Amino acid sequence: EEQSVGYLAGVKIASPQLFEALDAHGHPLHAPSLTCGTCRLALEEGGFCAEHRMGFVHGLAYLSPLTYQLARAKLVDPDSITCSTCRAAMQTIGWCDEHGVGMLGERRVIHKADYEMLAEAYRQLLAAVEKSAECETCAAAMVADGYCPEHRIHYSGGRAKAP
């Protein structure tokens, strides 16, 4: 029997635990419940709080750098892309210096800092998908800066932290 799967950023995710940890959709959040000043400002301005790994787009909370950047990225029509560098970037992820855009599939970002955040989060996603074949809890912890109690490993930035 085939396990239920999901896709995020064009990547197949066979682990239900990892897919749930990625939390691909934004959530409404009651502003008074935010105690962090940076989170409150991010909610008002559509920004990101690095400490709490939470960003806001159109008033919705996204609980990872990946989902935050995907929500902010603009969808583009692949047929409208004529630049060979941009088209190549669409196959996975990449930056085009000539046009000053980053591409991930059919999504485009226009600020280099946003692209760098997206690219790092995408690399973490790919590593977590690979890890999910060994341990789903480790994989989920990788994308959530969490902990795997089975292996007693803390993760930060998609990597195991030294004890």
pLDDT of 138 reads 97
Tell me how far apart the alpha carbons of residues 31 and 52 are, in angstroms, rounded to a whole number.
15
Tell me how far apart the alpha carbons of residues 28 and 49 are, in angstroms, rounded to a whole number.
16
| Residues 6 or more apart whose Cβ sits within 8 Å of residue 70 | 8, 9, 24, 104, 107, 118
The pTM assigned to this predicted structure is: 0.89
User: Residue-wise pLDDT tens for the chain (163 aa)?
Assistant: 455 678 999 999 999 999 999 988 899 988 888 999 999 999 999 999 999 989 999 999 998 999 999 999 999 999 999 999 999 999 989 999 999 999 999 999 999 999 999 999 999 999 999 999 999 999 999 999 999 999 999 999 999 997 7
pLDDT of 5 reads 78
